[in-house]
């Protein structure tokens, strides 16, 4: 047997959970199949059936932070990532009892550092997608870079640059794809062939980190079909 065939046979004999970020494509089952394998930060995660799909349900949990203080609400996946493509189906609605500012915020974070405090993310505001207010519609998608560049700083300093409109239905499964290369990231929604949001100047330097499911307080969200394709080495 040739050396190449030996390598392929060895990869196929390994459990998917043992393959590295530089190996073959990983499917959603080892990445999202077991909530106990997620590192939870200010959220609770349960495995449920949602709209016909096996999914992870994420909701925020009470924190001891001072009211009004921003907090991260993420479930970190044990997968190293720097450049490549991340895909998933996500759904978000305002949680029961949430205040009127809740939008069902739901998305994916990437390049999450070991502290869980520093990362980039794209997320959706599902209730904005079909709002009757055009300005709200223009805020349907968002890029952030925590902790230095939360949404409100980006909106204040460069309004309209790091968010955009896309048609969204609250609570519906919404396919998203994130493509990351160096300092550039693009967001694709609902199978679009062209990005709905382009970031050509990501606010943190490229670094290897983890992937995470992301929500904001006041959200009930569901995630399924998480898939990662690492960028090929040059």
Enter the pTM of the model: 0.86
At residue 157, the pLDDT reads 98
Given a cut of 70, is residue 65 above it in pLDDT? no
Q: Which among 172, 147, 100, 92 has a CA at the least distance from the CA of 125?
A: 92
Q: How many CA atoms lie within 13 A of 75 on its CB side?
A: 26
Alpha-carbon distance of 47 to 35, in angstroms, equals 6
Cβ atoms 120, 111 nearer than 8 A: yes
| Whole-number pLDDT of residue 17 | 36
pLDDT at position 66, please?
55
Per domain, the residue ranges of the chain are 3-230
Q: Return the CATH fold of 3-230.
A: Jelly Rolls (2.60.120)
Pairing of strands 184-189, 174-181: antiparallel
In whole angstroms, what is the distance from residue 43 CA to residue 98 CA? 15
């Amino acid at each position: 047997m040739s050396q190449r065939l030996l390598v392929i046979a060895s990869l196929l004999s390994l459990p998917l959970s043992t393959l590295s970020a530089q190996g073959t494509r990983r499917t959603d089952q080892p990445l999202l199949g077991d909530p106990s394998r997620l590192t939870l930060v200010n959220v609770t995660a349960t495995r449920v059936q949602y709209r016909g799909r096996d999914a992870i349900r994420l909701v925020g949990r009470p924190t001891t932070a001072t009211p009004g203080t921003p907090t991260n609400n993420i479930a970190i996946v044990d997968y190293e990532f720097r450049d490549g493509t991340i895909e998933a189906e996500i759904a978000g609605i305002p949680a029961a009892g949430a205040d009127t500012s809740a939008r069902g915020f739901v998305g994916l974070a990437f390049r999450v550092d070991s502290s869980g405090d520093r990362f980039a993310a794209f997320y959706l505001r599902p209730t904005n997608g079909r709002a009757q207010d055009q300005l709200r519609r223009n805020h349907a998608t968002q890029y952030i870079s925590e902790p230095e560049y939360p949404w409100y700083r980006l909106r204040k300093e460069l309004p309209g640059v790091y968010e955009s409109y896309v048609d969204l239905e609250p609570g519906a499964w919404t396919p998203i794809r994130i493509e990351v290369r160096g300092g550039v990231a693009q967001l694709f929604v609902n199978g679009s062939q062209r990005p709905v949001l382009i970031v050509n100047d990501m606010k943190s330097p490229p670094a290897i980190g983890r992937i995470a499911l992301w929500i904001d307080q006041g959200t009930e969200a569901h995630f399924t079909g998480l898939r990662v394709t690492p960028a090929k080495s040059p």
